Amino acid sequence: MAERGVLLEGVRAYRLIAGMWVRSSMAYRTSFVVTVFGNLTVTALDFVGILLMFSQVDSLGGWSLPEVALLYGLSATSFGIADLVLGSMDVLGARMRDGSFDTLLVRPVPVLAQVGADRFALRRLGRITQGTVVLGWALVSVDVDWSVLKVLLVPVMVVSGAAIFSAVFVAGAAFQIYAQDAAEVQNAFTYGGTTLLQYPPSVFGKDLVRGVTFMLPLAFVNWVPAVYVLGRPYPVGLPGWAAFASPPVAVACCVLAGLAWRTGLRSYRSTGS
Amino acid sequence: MEPESGFIELDGVEKVFEVRKKTGFMKRERRQVRAVDSISFRVERGEMVGYIGPNGAGKSTTIKMLTGILTPSAGRLRVAGIDPSRERRRLAHRIGVVFGQRTTLWWDLPLLDSYRLMHRMYRIPDARYRANLDRLVELLDLGDLLDVPVRQLSLGQRMRGDIAAALLHDPEVLYLDEPTIGLDVVSKSKVREFLREVNAERGTTVLLTTHDLQDIEQLCKRVMVIDHGRLMYDGPLAGLHEAGESERVLVVDLERELPPIEAPAPARVVRVDGPRQWLAFPAGESAAPLVARIAAEYPLVDLSVREPDIEAVIAKMYAEQTERAIS
């Protein structure tokens, strides 16, 4: 019950602080509009790259354009949500170096909520928008015999995927407590992870696929459930129920990330660095 | 509920850091640094205490333990009956913290927006918030600044804004880390006057670290000196002079050049420059007998007394402690 109280308190604090950042960014309206457009353009161009590739080839690792678009849309949307909610956690290291992290520790609200809401930016909606558009196009174009189960699996994938990416952001933040200049390591897993997942698993080596399936379970964001939806084989042998394992995998990731964060914070408070 | 003996209580509090130093490629030397070494003190409710010492003496580490940011390595620590490191968030409602060099205000937003955030983050009852805000705005002269974005405020205005932000939730204790650093004379005196008023009006306990000894002289009856993690002095400001065996200097202008004045010990001439002579005497003693004696025996034109520089006093204390430690 106490845990639940902290969670609610955290969500409330998150909304308060995120609201302040939104208001702050509105102080420079023109700059805000320009960055939103810039962000939309850059993310749109990202998918144009894949379109250009398909203008030269008919398939990628045996996957058609709508199938790759499905992977892309799922990964980009999930990542976009996590990026919107927790995307600024990479400033944590800088906050520790300049000492402003201490000011968060004297507030009566959970530190994770404060760090998560830090530099909250609505311009990140661009990525979600682009991901949703690609996903929508893929869903109507892809050649799938839709069943109720498969239809239900789509929103489940987006939500679980967002939770998995969020866990990676939080774990990365916990890691930054130990290595304060490690923001780029975190970015490698988050931004790197989403780029990886935008391509079919069949184009990668088996070891890499195994790694992101069993070690850092990013494959459960889209690969594993999507191969089920598309009726394709998965490069690494997995039981049939694995397609529906994304929610429990996401929950496990969040619990582990939460523990890592707690350990990191405790260590900071005992070492001061 | 524990018996209330002191509002802030420290018993043998220690903080040991492990510092890893690179001594070569992949080689690291581990060393333990005792930032705070067995410190004990009590502060009663409503006291105003100065906490001073050179950089790296352990001041900030102590404040960080008192606010719950850092967990002590050993010893017992209580603020308002709460163990700060174990109940950091509960304690947060009862303390106010101002970090002199770090603003907690929102740079791009009007000052009032930062206060509204405090209102909601600390769940301050509406009537209470309005009453506190009105009073703070009046005392700190913030009326014209509430709608100004914080980035447009001067350093002094921002510091006043920060202090108000730390007091909106009625904290029982206020920690100030270098509250007057970088401020001009007018802003400094405004801040000091305000702190005196808050302390008198609300009985807020105030603990402040500072490099500006005027802060201490004008605000604190009690001062604690820390160096190398140890409490070197804890008592009234006046006693600090005695503890440091400091001396005042009597500057005497005579009618003409004369040999050094024969003063009764322990007073003695420390410098002669033409008709002007400098006599040192213990800071704890009155200058009157010495002045009377010189006036009676020498052709006196003018005189003045120079108070010892507290920084020099502290420096002397440090030096003596080190000597004692070596011998």
pLDDT tens sequence across A4-36 = 888 999 999 999 999 999 999 988 889 888 888
Contacts of B106 in chain A (CB under 8 A): 20, 24
- Give the model's confidence band at B207: pLDDT under 50 very low, under 70 low, under 90 confident, else very high: very high
Q: Which residue of A has its CA nearest to B98?
A: A103
Structure tokens at B273: 């420059």
C-alpha separations of A156 from A68, A167, B269 in Å = 19, 16, 89
**Dihedral, B236, B242, B244, B246 alpha carbons, nearest 10:** 120
Nearest to A106 among B18, B67, B106 (CB): B67
Nearest to B102 among A100, A107, A271 (CB): A100
Nearest Cα of chain B lies from the Cα of A168 at a distance, in angstroms, of 25
Average the pLDDT over each of A48-62, A162-176, A223-237, B208-222 and give the range with the smallest value. B208-222
Contact status, residue B275 vs residue B255, Cβ threshold 8 Å: yes
Size of interface A-B (CB pairs under 8 A): 68
Structure tokens at B247: 């001396």
pLDDT at B150: 96
Decide if A16 and B120 are in contact by the 8 Å CB cutoff: yes
d(CA A169, CA A156): 20
Percent over 70 (pLDDT), chain A: 99
Containing H/E element for A5? helix A2-26
- Print burial letters for B119-149: b (CB count within 10 Å at least 16), e (below 16): bebbebeeeebeebbebbbebbebeebbeeb
Average pLDDT over residues B129-158: 95
Nearest to B113 among A23, A269, A272 (CB): A23
Strand partners, B15: B36
Q: Tell which of A12, A28, A102 to mutate to test the B interface (max B CBs under 10 Å).
A: A102
Decide if B149 and A27 are in contact by the 8 Å CB cutoff: yes
Contacts of B71 in chain A (CB under 8 A): 266, 269-270
pLDDT at B23: 67
Q: Tell which of A97, A106, A262, A266 to mutate to test the B interface (max B CBs under 10 Å).
A: A106
Q: Which pairs with CB-CB distance under 8 Å and at least 24 residues apart come from A62-65? A: A62/A200, A62/A202, A63/A200, A63/A202, A63/A232, A64/A142, A64/A143, A65/A141
Q: In sequence order, what are the residues at sequence separation of 6 or more whose Cβ sits closer than 8 angstroms to the Cβ of residue B163?
A: B98, B140, B176, B179, B191, B194, B195
Contacts of B18 in chain A (CB under 8 A): 271
Nearest to B109 among A20, A102, A271 (CB): A20
**How many C-alpha atoms does A198 have within 13 Å on its Cβ side?**
24
pLDDT at A68: 95
Q: At what angle do helices B185-202 and B126-140 cross, to 10 degrees?
A: 140
The pTM for the full model equals: 0.84
Decide if B108 and A24 are in contact by the 8 Å CB cutoff: yes
Average the pLDDT over each of B22-26, B123-127, B145-149, B161-165 and give the range with the smallest value. B22-26
Decide if A108 and B93 are in contact by the 8 Å CB cutoff: yes
Task: Check pLDDT > 50 for residue B2.
Answer: no
pLDDT at B1: 44
Nearest to B70 among A28, A103, A269 (CB): A269
Q: What is the mean pLDDT of chain B?
A: 88
Task: Check pLDDT > 80 for residue B123.
Answer: yes
DSSP state of A28: T
Task: Check pLDDT > 80 for residue B232.
Answer: yes
Q: Residue A267 is part of which domain span?
A: 2-271
C-alpha separations of B66 from B9, B143, B164, B226 in Å = 9, 33, 21, 15
Nearest to B109 among A27, A110, A266 (CB): A27
Question: How many domains, in total, are found in chain A?
Answer: 1
Decide if B121 and A108 are in contact by the 8 Å CB cutoff: yes
Contacts of B73 in chain A (CB under 8 A): 270
